[in-house]
Structure 1
């Protein structure tokens, strides 16, 4: 899954490719935003096992979508 996180006062968004399902990611975001965790961080792990920590009070939005299938090749003719 591709997860895009908008961070307040930042012109760029964080983009993470996660092996988790959309429901698992939504549950992590909801748990972090509700204050159910002891720290105020949203923690996600990407496909390579890297951990990304985002302060909850700086999150503007979270978008969960299917990862784009990158196409390789050329379009012939027009």
Structure 2
């Protein structure tokens, strides 16, 4: 499994309901493709987010995001360093 990062930016601050809606759209697609959400970090202004996944590869995460209609800026595989 690869560690995959999804970077997102939003034109307006996102409410908890906005974020839940996207999560609900992603869950079925993620399950079908073996993509597992690990955690997300939301900026204090609620306009930028980084989401981390375990997945077969970055392309699979791109496919899931597109199928679910979830907007993203960048998707890339990385290595966890440190704690």
Larger radius of gyration, structure 1 or 2?
1
TM over 0.5: no
Structure having greater relative contact order (Cα 8 Å, sep ≥ 6): 2
- Name the one with the larger helix percent: 2
Give the TM interval when normalised to the shorter protein.
0.3 to 0.5
